[in-house]
């Protein structure tokens, strides 16, 4: 059990050190991805049908690049635009998109995500 956890930790650390091999996503690409994801929340289209595989990889690599450079402990003044504190998402994209829908998009609001944002690894 312990060696399995150590191996999982090593895999997570390795993933966090990865960088997108291509240029970072452009702002209009990110906005396009988000609007398409929100459309899927309305039940009009299944999320797996609106993204190509390369787009999902681009989103994941973009997130890894951003998150790997962020510190784990933050001290800051309360932003003038407000602060939305989001608890553990555990990889639940629907809850993430609902938070964006409810509170709005940056830079209109600042988000603070607590806990994990990834899906727990299967033990099977």
- Residue 59 confidence (pLDDT): 77
pLDDT in tens, 5-22: 445 444 444 444 444 555
Residue 31: both structure tokens together? 């906005």
How many helices (H) and strands (E) the chain has is answered by 5, 2
Name the more confident of 44 and 71.
71
Residue written as token pair 């003044």: 77
Name the more confident of 5 and 68.
68
Sequence-separated (6 or more) residues with CB below 8 Å from residue 118: 12, 90, 91
8 A C-beta contact, residue 28 and residue 36? no
- Residue 9 confidence (pLDDT): 44
**Mapping DSSP to helix (H, G, I), strand (E, B) and coil, where does residue 23 land?**
coil
- Residue 103 confidence (pLDDT): 92
Residue 91: both structure tokens together? 């990889």
pLDDT at 114 over 50: yes
């Amino acid at each position: 059990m312990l060696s399995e956890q150590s191996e999982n930790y090593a895999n997570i650390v390795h993933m966090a050190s990865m960088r997108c091999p291509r240029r970072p996503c452009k702002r209009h690409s990110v906005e396009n991805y988000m609007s398409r994801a929100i459309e899927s929340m309305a039940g009009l289209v299944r999320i797996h049908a609106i993204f190509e595989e390369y787009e999902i990889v681009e989103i994941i690599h973009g997130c890894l690049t951003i998150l790997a450079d962020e510190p784990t402990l933050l001290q800051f003044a309360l932003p003038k635009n407000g602060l939305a504190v989001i608890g553990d998402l555990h990889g639940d994209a629907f809850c993430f998109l609902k938070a964006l829908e409810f509170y709005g998009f940056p830079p209109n609001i600042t988000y603070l995500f607590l806990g994990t944002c990834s899906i727990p690894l299967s033990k099977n």
